[in-house]
Amino acid sequence: MPEPSPHARTIEPLTAPPDAVVTIPGSKSLTNRALVAAALAEGTSHLQGVLFADDTDAMLDCLQRLGVHLDVDRSAARVTVHGLAGPPQVTEADLDVRLSGTTARFVAPLLAAASGRFRLDGAPPFRARPMGPVLEAMRALGAEVVFERQEEHLPAVVTSRGAAGGRVTVRGDRSSQFLSGLLLVAPVLPHGLTIEVTTPLVSEPYVTLTLDVMRAFGVEVDRVDPRTFVVRPARYTSTTYEVEPDASAARYPLAAAAMTGGRVRVPGLTPAARQGDAGFAHVLGRMGAEVVVDDDGTEVRGTGRLDGLEVDLGPMSDTAQTLAVVATLASGPTSVRGIGFIRAKETDRIAAVVTELQRCGLTAREDPDGFTIEPGTPRPTSIETYDDHRMAMSFALLGLVHPGITILDPGCVAKTFPDYFTMLERLRPPGDVAGPR
């Protein structure tokens, strides 16, 4: 079997529907939240089921540069974190968040809590993503923030003298990560922190995830109304924390089952799963797939029919690109709304989805806060991925059903799921040897 090119990867269609149990790596969202809480905690924490990908490697590197001692065992998916029992004590650091939004927006508030001079930067594509809301909140806490090139974007130099806390405001309509970063640092500020969200809050399940992680490390947050969070001074306590499978990654094999009429089970994604993206399986259920969520995990069985639907994906916006691909196989149009803010993700995800589906010869249009997809059969196409891991992973599913789908820059999946294409090949039934080209 020829090795796929690092610059392009053609996905060969499945010769039969999959019947597979697929083990998914740990959640990126939970991994990076737990790493921050453990770093600020008193004592030694043991994180198990950790995801190792570019986004989490960025967080590990930044925490180490801020003086956190980590014992990393990649083969066991385990990180031991020797907590600082408070804010970082280093007085200078040059920090690279790479392409990781969670790293950038969770680490930045840590710099306001520290005392020193810090430079925060990322890979060139990340410099286009907004950082203003969290950095403005840091200014309100007394930090000096100087943008080197463009206002509200990295690189930036932060000079701080150890924020005391108090009250800040933050926008919630561009990303919930800004709020989550402030929440995570709030307990170690001497006066705690009251945070008022000044605009409608998007991706709220991720804020709930932040609160769950904080609770697991011994800190409770008082949400006095939908937009006001009160965090009193407290000390995170060390713990052993099990990272559940990544619901965002699980949706790809589950979607493949719905698209092909196959069966896929993902162990560990149980009714107790805390990630909002776990709800994507039920969206597939609304389209006609059979969905079972039990104490062992989540299973999707394709029925051979998918119906179009109208759906608000605001609470699980990262699933939008995958649903767009599934929608091409539906019996009618699918309209996704509530996701206008994803234009400021790794790329303009609304425009990218519509552009690439149109490149495939399909009918798709941009709507004010989403898109509408008409079903159809794509022609052989090379898919631009725009430095966006979720574009690559979502559109690869199209190649499991239709010939001639080539993913450009397939290596971008390393951001969150380095073994993605290996997982995809495991969906092939015995005897299906048509690997990647």
User: Exposed, middle or buried by CB within 10 Å (0-12, 13-18, 19+), for 6?
Assistant: exposed
User: Residue 86 corresponds to which tokens in the numbers above?
Assistant: 């408070």
Q: What are residue 291's DSSP bridge partners?
A: 300
Contacts of 50 (CB under 8 A, 6+ apart): 26, 31, 56, 77, 78, 79, 243
Sign of the alpha-carbon torsion through 101, 102, 107, 109: positive
> What gap in Å lies between CA 381 and CA 360, rounded to an integer?
6
Contact by Cβ (8 Å): 340, 380: no
Catalytic residue at 318?
yes
Beta strands at 310-312 and 297-301: parallel, antiparallel or unpaired: unpaired
**Nearest partner of 347 among 394, 390, 388, judged by Cα:** 388
67 Rama class: left (phi>0) / alpha (psi -120 to 50) / beta: left
The amino acid that residue 72 corresponds to is V
Beta strands at 297-301 and 263-267: parallel, antiparallel or unpaired: antiparallel
Of the residues 318, 387, 388, 409, only one is catalytic, namely 318
Catalytic residues: 318
